[in-house]
Structure 1
């Protein structure tokens, strides 16, 4: 389906950097990342969780390094991780040096926590010597004391000034492989800070509403904050911060990008909220289909509509569709065209099979095209 002009999002031009093999910024796809919550010193548990995060579709994973035991485990973690690892060092500049030497693809530092400029310079040196990029991570809850005294409270101006001050230190050392984030738990503060930062620099920006909350409210806050910025073309990589499993963060991140047409992964299920006209139990059907199709990474669309009021129209716009027709059967659509009648009791199994077949065919075609290109 062609993209109409009013759906176009013109992304903000930004410098391209790399986090390991993953490009961030410029014309690269918006990267999705999450963070482990295991004991980093337990390399096996951390790698097991990274595998699940990668399986969910994450491009990058952040791993906290609060102590020397953590960075000691980083060599194995970085060597075996299927996706690039960002080491989060927070207060401990020495951990940054150790993580860089252990193979981290990126170092995340918070200028309000790391301390003296000399320590920052040591971390920059370690990143340069080991091929690491960096992320300047400004947080509204840990701004430098002098900026809090200057502005009186966390505000967009203080956050942007903190970010630019630290960026200047890196640039003065001729280090340019870095991205910036200016996160806060307040959606308004977060959006305003990113808007101002986007005008002040061409560096790639990592988006997030930090400490957004549990799965439901955190998803809502992140969707509003990140969605507003992405719609305006701002943002090169994202993390949805939830008090939930890291895999859920990745899935919500993709759902936000998918809803804006910025990136597609997995099955986009379009479904009605259901009403008295429904010809089958829409809510339970969608729950079951989403669970059974969670393994599909191919970008496909599936419409599940309870009746014929909107069903045929929605089905015309999706790869596969089903519309309830009353009684014990409805109409299945393929490529937007009515294909065959389908009994409600057979619907779930048949739709799962149709999606799996289409996904397999798509992957075969992609593999063949790649082979021809080589």
Structure 2
């Protein structure tokens, strides 16, 4: 009878001396290092001192893990989480199969709520429209909205022949976590594939500075796995890159070089503070611009300030695609995006939307509509 080996998992208490993923100097047991992915625990972690990590006895200590928002080696169910991601934190077993972005994808892709795309598009005849995951998958019921079930997305959105539908698979943590949990039992990926999306920007799983390093590694693995599941369902899919350290960027670049995905995506919708832009986003974008293959398309979601868009154009040039929901949000209030910022003109929604999309596209030279 074969002997089942214990499932590898991050060490309890973020103890690098006992962690199979530690890549730092002088590990306690060099033979235990399976894949050197991590340079050490996160000094900014707010969870490494929890009751479970410190092994303090007492009733209900283990139950705390069920309500904790992060996955660390001290969890009572860390083995189940490792099994759920394939028993590894590496990327080497995932290959999205290469491929290319759909023909005719414009450099600027307006993101809408999916309710009135045809009405907004009457003056533009734009090449592609994006719809966020929360408009397709309900955060309240953790199920697909009935209007999308068993229907072609182009019909649901009222698109014209040749216009592309892009699923922007980002959302708040409760939404993307629910999607992960329900995706297999409810066949969510296969059912979304049947809707006929032309491109999927795969859901991304968060990396916060005050989370343990094990959660960072799991989140990156989950983001790549979910992209692979969309590819296996027959969809052109772009993985989302998140990072916290330089070693994360290096891992992404090595994976891209080995597998040649059709593009990479970066979700910056949650970057609200200038400090995050300066200390995390900007250094990462500069590094990626220098180390990704020079012809690889880069799709960024969440940039709205002209200065930041200009910087992204300087870094990535004509391979940059931008996704933004600002033109649609402004149009609902009759406002227009301009070089001077938001202008409240009380314009008709269709006129405001047309002006904002045209302006944002003008920031991306050599538009390929």
**Which of the pair is proportionally richer in helix?**
1
Structure of higher CA gyration radius: 1
Answer 1 or 2: which has greater strand percent.
Answer: 1
Same fold, judged at TM 0.5 (above): no
TM-score normalised by structure 2 residue count: 0.43
Q: TM-score, normalised by structure 1?
A: 0.42
